[in-house]
Amino acid sequence: MTILKAILIFSLSISSFPQTEEYIFKQFTDADGLSQSTIFSMIQDQEGYLWLGTIDGLNRYDGYEFRVYVNDPADPTSVSDNFISALYEDQEGYIWVGTVNGYFNRYNRKNEVFKRYFINDFFSTTKNPDTNFYEYPLAFSRNQINTVTSITEDNEGYLWIGTWGNGIIKFDKKKEKAEHIYYDKNNPSGLNSNRILDILFDTDGEIWVATFGGGLNKLIQNKSNPASFYLYTSNNNFNHSISDNKTISLFEDKDRNIWIGTFYGGLNKLDANNKRLQPKEAKFVVYNQKNSRISNNTVLAIQQNFDSYLWIGTFGGGIDRFDINTGSFINFSNISSQQNAFPDVEILSLFVDRSGIIWAGSHLGEGVTKIQKIKLKFDIINSKSPGNLKLNDDVVWSLFKDKKENLWVGHIEVVLMF
């Protein structure tokens, strides 16, 4: 009589598996249907479409193909002009399109009609910037002072529209009227510069303004003086001031910290505890090429993905991934293999969509690059694995993780008894 007896054997305790994070870069250019391959701005609308602002038209991407919106001189309901410099979707689902020629357009998806507003019609005065434009490396350096650089919305439904040289327009969408907020040397508590690069409305209801030359400005919530600001400027006598008065990009992370990209001074952090402090008390943490491994000191775009990494778009160094917890940078323009290389080092815009995919808009014809994390691969551990990390049998029947995070692997040993 033969008896078949199965004995469960726990052969190996594994405390950890090596893991690596890898990304696939997929580039889209005019050869793929983009109207033009310089991408100044990107948003994802409520329906999931990705919108891209180029220097030759507005593009909508549905995951398969691009649809292009351009100006038609014979159609007053088309977009006002083709150099798209800013995009925003408001609370009502309208898409606002800012252009280099000083228009902001409201796009109604229901009837596919653009309604144009000329920003000059809302200036109470014209204030030319005090300095020349030549320093800035992008097309803005050749643009008009009424070029729309940023659009955002506050809790009351007002649009805040920044311009490249004539301050801010606070636009009432219902009344189609606006308040002009601008730098005036006779108003020491006012906006510190008319050259606006970015406007951020944070989760605490505060409005932050990145100016090119006047540092970081924060609106003071004071109804008696509605256009007064706190001014955060660079100060050589204060070690913790913002690193550069030429501020370019603003971003609020998941922990309510404010991140500021600058032209000369790298990346600055104003943490949530410091946001409420007076400018002389607030302490900025600076990451630049002197004290960190950031690839370039000109930071044009900042985003955060689902893994809580910050993605930093630089003009000249490509894309950096920044680990907030460790303070370490990884530059993807340097580590990528030739088979999977990031295509550009001049990044104009970044966006993280609702699925966690990162989109990077490039300069001078490189288009938009889709950055997608490869799904986690399995490391195979078997009886032939090198070193001590091996099994005594390749047939695995069970797994168990103990309180010490050890992983136990169970096998079946078959014994024939006569």
Question: Within this chain, do residues 352 and 395 fall inside the same structural domain, yes or no?
Answer: no
Whether residue 132 is contained in a domain is answered as yes
Q: Look up residue 130 and give its amino acid.
A: D
- Structure pTM? 0.83
Whether residue 24 is contained in a domain is answered as no
pLDDT band at 379 (very low <50, low <70, confident <90, very high): low
Question: Within this chain, do residues 36 and 158 fall inside the same structural domain, yes or no?
Answer: yes
Q: Which residue has the higher pLDDT, 389 or 70?
A: 70
Predicted pLDDT at 397: 74
Query: Which H helix or E strand runs over 334?
Result: helix 332-335
- Structural domain total, the chain: 2
Q: Which residue has the higher pLDDT, 40 or 391?
A: 40
Question: Within this chain, do residues 305 and 340 fall inside the same structural domain, yes or no?
Answer: yes
Lowest mean per-residue pLDDT among 31-45, 106-120, 309-323, 362-376: 362-376
Question: Within this chain, do residues 111 and 235 fall inside the same structural domain, yes or no?
Answer: yes
Helices (H), ranges, 49-194: none
Whether residue 23 is contained in a domain is answered as no
Predicted pLDDT at 370: 95
Interval 62-76 mean pLDDT: 97
Predicted pLDDT at 237: 87
First to last CA, the chain: 6
Q: Give the number of other CB atoms < 10 A from CB of residue 153.
A: 19
Predicted pLDDT at 77: 98
Predicted pLDDT at 188: 86
Question: Within this chain, do residues 320 and 345 fall inside the same structural domain, yes or no?
Answer: yes
Lowest mean per-residue pLDDT among 2-11, 84-93, 273-282, 338-347: 2-11
Question: Within this chain, do residues 332 and 391 fall inside the same structural domain, yes or no?
Answer: no
User: How far apart are the C-alpha atoms of 315 and 263, rounded to whole Å?
Assistant: 9
Residue-wise pLDDT tens digits, 248-295: 999 999 999 999 999 999 999 999 999 999 999 999 999 999 999 999
Q: Which residue has the higher pLDDT, 412 or 324?
A: 324
Whether residue 26 is contained in a domain is answered as no
Pairing label, strands 103-108, 95-99: antiparallel
Whether residue 329 is contained in a domain is answered as yes
Residues 68 and 61 sit within 8 Å (Cβ to Cβ): no
* Domain membership of residue 396 as a residue range: 1-18+383-418
pLDDT band at 129 (very low <50, low <70, confident <90, very high): low
β-partners of residue 159 are: 153, 171
Interval 334-353 mean pLDDT: 76
Question: Within this chain, do residues 110 and 233 fall inside the same structural domain, yes or no?
Answer: yes
Is residue 275 left, alpha or beta, with left meaning phi > 0 and alpha meaning psi from -120 to 50? alpha
pLDDT band at 16 (very low <50, low <70, confident <90, very high): very low
pLDDT band at 31 (very low <50, low <70, confident <90, very high): very high
Pairing label, strands 50-54, 407-417: unpaired
Predicted pLDDT at 392: 75
Whether residue 242 is contained in a domain is answered as yes
Instruction: Provide the token pair at 44.
Output: 């994802």
Residue-wise pLDDT tens digits, 36-56: 999 999 999 999 999 999 999
User: How far apart are the C-alpha atoms of 158 and 271, rounded to whole Å?
Assistant: 26
Q: Which residue has the higher pLDDT, 397 or 249?
A: 249
Nearest to 42 by CA among 24, 21, 61: 61
Predicted pLDDT at 170: 97
Tell me the range of 7-21, 313-327, 370-384 where mean pLDDT is highest: 313-327
Q: Residue 48 contacts by C-beta under 8 Å, 6 or more apart in sequence?
A: 354
Query: Which H helix or E strand runs over 333?
Result: helix 332-335
Exposed, middle or buried by CB within 10 Å (0-12, 13-18, 19+), for 274?
middle
Residues 214 and 196 sit within 8 Å (Cβ to Cβ): no
User: How far apart are the C-alpha atoms of 267 and 327, rounded to whole Å?
Assistant: 12
Question: What is the CA 47 to chain-centroid distance, rounded?
Answer: 20
Query: Can you tell me whether residue 23 is helix, strand or coil?
Result: strand
Question: Within this chain, do residues 57 and 87 fall inside the same structural domain, yes or no?
Answer: yes
Q: Which residue has the higher pLDDT, 346 or 138?
A: 346
pLDDT band at 12 (very low <50, low <70, confident <90, very high): very low
Residue-wise pLDDT tens digits, 217-239: 999 977 666 689 999 999 988 88
Question: Within this chain, do residues 14 and 94 fall inside the same structural domain, yes or no?
Answer: no
Question: Within this chain, do residues 2 and 70 fall inside the same structural domain, yes or no?
Answer: no
Predicted pLDDT at 20: 36
Q: Is residue 30's pLDDT more than 80?
A: yes
Q: Which residue has the higher pLDDT, 1 or 17?
A: 1
Question: Within this chain, do residues 371 and 400 fall inside the same structural domain, yes or no?
Answer: no
Residues 162 and 149 sit within 8 Å (Cβ to Cβ): yes
Torsion of CA 170, 283, 291, 260, to 10 degrees: -10
Whether residue 387 is contained in a domain is answered as yes
Predicted pLDDT at 363: 86
What percent of the residues of the chain are helix, what percent strand, and what percent coil, each to the nearest 5? Answer: 5, 45, 55
Question: Within this chain, do residues 109 and 199 fall inside the same structural domain, yes or no?
Answer: yes
Q: Which residue has the higher pLDDT, 106 or 143?
A: 106
Instruction: Provide the token pair at 48.
Output: 């999931």
Whether residue 163 is contained in a domain is answered as yes
Instruction: Provide the token pair at 120.
Output: 């000059």
For 43, phi then psi, to 5°, come to -145, 165
pLDDT band at 373 (very low <50, low <70, confident <90, very high): confident
Q: Is residue 1's pLDDT more than 60?
A: no
- Domain with 302 in it: what CATH number? 2.130.10.10
Predicted pLDDT at 377: 53
